[in-house]
Amino acid sequence: MHELSLALEVIELVQREAGKQGLSAIQEILIEVGDLSGVEADAFQSALELLVKNTILNDAVVKIIQTHGKGICAACNKEFEMKNRLDTCPGCLCFPSEITGGKEFRVLSLLAE
């Protein structure tokens, strides 16, 4: 379950940034998790909520935005939505030549006191 280690990394990142800015508490954290990132968003959120006790994120609202995967069809060159990496083009059933979205995993913003 790598979501636990990712949650620890996010907490460490936020604590470092908060220290640089002299912040005492974070009110909200916004995180983007793509469908094709390999991160289970619900498991990550649960791990994060479990690990924030007694940290700068203790009282923060955790918001996760899930983004859909996107690929460009190798045959017809159309962009299509993907739920997993093995999805094929709905028009011609070919695999994508390129995955253009949904691989993201990043902290988008922090709201602080």
Question: What is the domain extent for residue 89?
Answer: 2-112
**Residue 84 scores a pLDDT above 80:** yes
Using CA atoms, how far residue 92 sits from 74, 76, 78, 80, 101, in Å, is 10, 7, 10, 11, 20
Give the contacts of 3 (CB within 8 A, at least 6 positions apart).
Answer: 39, 40, 43, 44, 46, 47
**Residue 49 scores a pLDDT above 80:** yes
With cut-offs at 50, 70 and 90, classify the pLDDT of residue 67.
very high
Mean per-residue pLDDT, 22-33: 94
CATH of the domain at 40: 3.30.2320.80
* Average pLDDT for the chain: 93
Q: How many structural domains is the chain composed of?
A: 1
pLDDT of the residue at 1: 55
- Per-residue DSSP letter, 63: E
Using CA atoms, how far residue 29 sits from 11, 40, 48, 60, 79, in Å, is 10, 18, 11, 7, 31
Quote the percentage of the chain above a pLDDT of 90: 90
pLDDT of the residue at 24: 87
Query: 66 φ, ψ to 5°?
Result: -95, 130
User: pTM for this structure?
Assistant: 0.85
Mean per-residue pLDDT, 16-30: 92
**Residue 13 scores a pLDDT above 60:** yes
Query: 103 φ, ψ to 5°?
Result: -95, 0
